[in-house]
Amino acid sequence: MAEKPQPVKVLYCAVCSLPAEYCEFGPDFEKCKPWLLKNAPELYPDLLKDATGKEADKVSEQLQSVGISSGGGRDGAASTASPGDSSSNKLEEVKRLPGGKVKKKDKQEVVIEKVVRNKRKCITVVKGLELFGIKLSDASKKLGKKFATGASVVKGPTDKEQIDVQGDISLDIVEFLTETWPDVPEAAIYFIEDGKKVPVV
């Protein structure tokens, strides 16, 4: 292995992010189909057939399954599995809600967390203000002034910026936030208590 092995370029489906050949097992094969037809028609010859004879979709599917089962005994098992696949697709559609939840992260919300620093000293961490188009440096100054404590913009664990305010101000901060920045609705503010997100209202 003296020479450098070149990285293999893998065609990933733009819809479901899987390698194109795995789309049929992906969360939503139906949605991938148009993309596959355009970009990787050779992987799914059946699809091309479908596209040309769309009016008889079901008939052609049946034809295919017949063709497969005539191909070999073991493949017969695969063809019986294919209706199961379609039902699992339906299941996946429901299941995708958790995926939606993941997307929620980009939603505008302010998260307030109290971190105990030294038994009776603590820091209030405010995350997510920047999502409302608020300048963090301005915000930290205002917070510091209002509560007469140190307040600074700090890089959080995942490179996101957050404001650390000295002292426990979690009780007053909600009112202050909603008053100074009317864009921030009270419903979008969350506390973190025992590692759980709790809405303020």
Give me the residues that bind another protein (CB under 8 A), please. 1-5, 7-10, 16-19, 21-22, 25-27, 74, 77-78, 81, 84-85, 88, 98, 102, 105, 157-159
Give me the least distance between CB of 39 and another protein, in Å please.
15
**Which of 176-197 are b and which e, b meaning 16 or more Cβ less than 10 Å from the residue's Cβ?**
ebbeebeebeeebbbbbeeeee
Give me the least distance between CB of 85 and another protein, in Å please.
7
Q: Which is closer to another protein, CB of 108 or CB of 180?
A: 108
Q: Which is closer to another protein, CB of 66 or CB of 81?
A: 81
Give me the least distance between CB of 125 and another protein, in Å please.
15
Give me the least distance between CB of 151 and another protein, in Å please.
23
Our CA angle for 60, 62, 67, nearest 5°, is 90
Q: Quick one: residue 153, left, alpha or beta (phi over 0 = left, psi -120 to 50 = alpha)?
A: beta
Q: Which is closer to another protein, CB of 18 or CB of 136?
A: 18
Give me the least distance between CB of 18 and another protein, in Å please.
5
Tokens of 158: 């995942």
Q: Which is closer to another protein, CB of 69 or CB of 180?
A: 69
Q: Which is closer to another protein, CB of 121 or CB of 197?
A: 197
